[in-house]
Amino acid sequence: MLKFGNMKRSIIVNVLASAMVCGAAACCMLTACASQPAGDAARAAASLTPAESSYRPTVNLADTDYPDLTYAAESAVDAVVYVKVTIQSKVDYSQMDPWLRYFFGFGDQMPRQREQSGSGSGVIIRPDGYIVTANHVVANATKVEVTLNDNKTYEAQIIGSDSATDVALLKIDASGIPSIPMADSDELRLGEWVLAIGSPLGEELRGTITAGIVSAKGRSNLGQNDGQFRIESFIQTDAAVNPGNSGGALVNKKGELVGINTAIVSQTGAYSGYSFAVPTNIVKKVVGDLIDFGSVKRAKLGVSMGTVNDKIAKDLKLSETKGVYIDEVSKGSAADKGGLKHEDVIFAIDDTPINTASELQAKVNSFHPGDKAVIHFIREGKRMQTEVTFQGEMQETGTVDEDGTTAFYGARLKAADKETLSKLGIKGGVVIVDAGNGKMFQAGASDGFVIEYVNDEPVAKPEDVVNIAKKSKRAIFIEGVTANGKSSYFGFGKD
């Protein structure tokens, strides 16, 4: 037993000694590799024996490849703010069941004001007090307060917001405050290090910094199925983001803003590895419009579309499963006037490649109404191009387009021709060429509907419709005939 024990101890000592020798050798080898000039390293490698030269380093230990994020963190953190919002809403107890109203002691009380509070984060983008945050942070807010990293608190004004991109712009009365420059988010690469800065879970954790990498770009369809129009081309990261981070900064290693944190995907409501930010190239356009015009001037191409998949590629005999397939072209739209058709596949706008529907949406969003662009597309196997002039999302009521149609609450109108009037058996009217997606469409308008009366007054041309509507103080009531000859009516409020 004693001999065995000595043997065992001897083995252990020998193993430890071997490990120490190997460790020292490895340490010496690493030091030599790190300090040798490139030419010397190459000559040394050539002089190694076959057994020695078979070793290849798998990790580059050069200092420049380590993600030193201290500069980015320290330069950006002071420009990220805590946003506190107050929302006042009315509680109408008269709508409650009478028995419950009596039981809870509300009686016949008048509607009461109820105050709620919430919070998020924001990013100072200009030293004169302009702050970007997420639209959902300040939506319906009656009061917004902003606390800087130096503990100074300011009341903020909402300059404007855009629900389609989930971006809002605030302004505080301050000057010379820290700000973050915006980078070109298109330059971000997969695997690049980024920092998320914000106030997760409330004011107590203001200025929290977490790190991660760019996991994906151009993400969309995150499950927000509320029927609203959205422009989604998110940057996905694995930097820890929680409720309260919304509106905060996503910065690169240089401390430049590359995105505004806006969402997480989680089954628990807390961070589970997937966070998403609105790219700065979308934010720049929205913020610029809000400052210059007070609202977003959004360009519209006028197509319904989808990303090319394997089935579409086979059906259309495409060589690649890339691009955006046009399912439908809206009549009178920029796409229609540019000659685009059903089953065309868009693969670039100007010099920007387009691989997915979200990329096309983001690119179109970078333009203003009236801007021109060259659309590159494939039709029946041939590469083609056309120039389009982008239209506005909804032209102002009364605007006459090049084709002679008149804009009216999102729809387009023209005087009904004799053939249409004869077919429907009516004396006069104004036809809805395109119902659009505005108030007219929402109220029940359809393509081909012929308007005979507006607020009980007969109409014969689009100007009649516009002028009668202008005189109305509250509502517009429309009577007429559908495209198949059925009498119908609908109405909507002006505000």
Active-site annotation, residues? 136, 166, 246
- Determine phi and psi for 106, rounding to 5 degrees: -85, -25
> Do residues 260 and 248 touch, judged by C-beta distance below 8 A?
yes
The C-alpha atoms of residue 323 and residue 313 are separated, in whole angstroms, by 10
- Determine phi and psi for 442, rounding to 5 degrees: -65, -30
* Beta strands 372-379; 391-392: pairing state: unpaired
**Which of 262, 273, 332 has its CA nearest to residue 303?**
332
Tokens of 327: 């399912």
Which residues, 6+ apart, have CB-to-CB distance to 380 below 8 Å?
Answer: none
* Beta strands 457-458; 450-454: pairing state: antiparallel
CA terminus-to-terminus distance, the chain: 97
Q: Sign (positive/negative) of CA torsion 112, 117, 123, 126?
A: positive
Q: In 209-234, which positions are buried (b, 16+ CB within 10 angstroms) versus exposed (e)? A: bbbbebbebbbbebeeeeeeebbbbb
The C-alpha atoms of residue 140 and residue 89 are separated, in whole angstroms, by 9
The C-alpha atoms of residue 237 and residue 194 are separated, in whole angstroms, by 8
Which residues, 6+ apart, have CB-to-CB distance to 82 below 8 Å?
Answer: 119, 121, 122, 146, 147, 199, 203, 206
Indicate the SS3 state at residue 278: strand
Tokens of 390: 């982008």
Tokens of 419: 């053939």
Give residue 426's identity as a one-letter amino acid code.
I
